[in-house]
Amino acid sequence: MTAVVDRDFPYDVILTDWYQIGGYNHRKGDVFTVADFDNELDAYVTKIGRMIDRKVAVRATPELIEAAERDEAARKARMEARQKAWEENRRVEQVINSAPANPYTDNPLFGLF
């Protein structure tokens, strides 16, 4: 049995840590509503109650949702920057690898004769 006894309980919650539901991992900042559970209120109450009991979810307020959106935008920006850096490094690596070999210095017999 869950400890959720709030009178206006089915409310939106926001994750404060990662959590797995139905085999899918959800990140900190994800928001869950009754609509996420296809209006199956029993499933919503059970799963959300379990999240609250395990201290991985809190009631979603506009401020928390806004902060989560900012965090998500910053995370996406970091991922895009990381991807661009990787692509640039890969491009430079391809240019270096496609350069013609120097027949004098790349020859293992160079300098023996």
Q: Which runs of consecutive H residues, i.e. helices, occur in 23-61? A: 41-53
pLDDT of residue 83: 96
pLDDT of residue 37: 62
Q: Counting every residue, how long is the chain?
A: 113
DSSP 4: -
CB 57 within 8 Å of CB 16? yes
Strands 57-59 and 19-21: unpaired
> Which residues does residue 19 pair with via DSSP β-bridges, in sequence order?
26
Structure tokens at 110: 């160079």
pLDDT of residue 113: 55
pLDDT of residue 34: 63
DSSP-derived 3-state class of residue 25 = strand
Q: How does 73-112 read in b/e, with b if 16+ C-beta sit within 10 Å?
A: eeeeeeeeeeeeeeeeeeeeeeeeeeeeeeeeeeeeeeee
pTM, full prediction: 0.49
pLDDT of residue 7: 52
User: How does pLDDT run along the chain (113 residues), one tens digit per residue?
Assistant: 444 445 555 667 777 777 777 677 777 777 777 666 655 656 666 677 777 777 777 777 778 778 888 888 888 999 999 999 999 999 988 887 776 666 666 666 665 55
CB 90 within 8 Å of CB 97? no
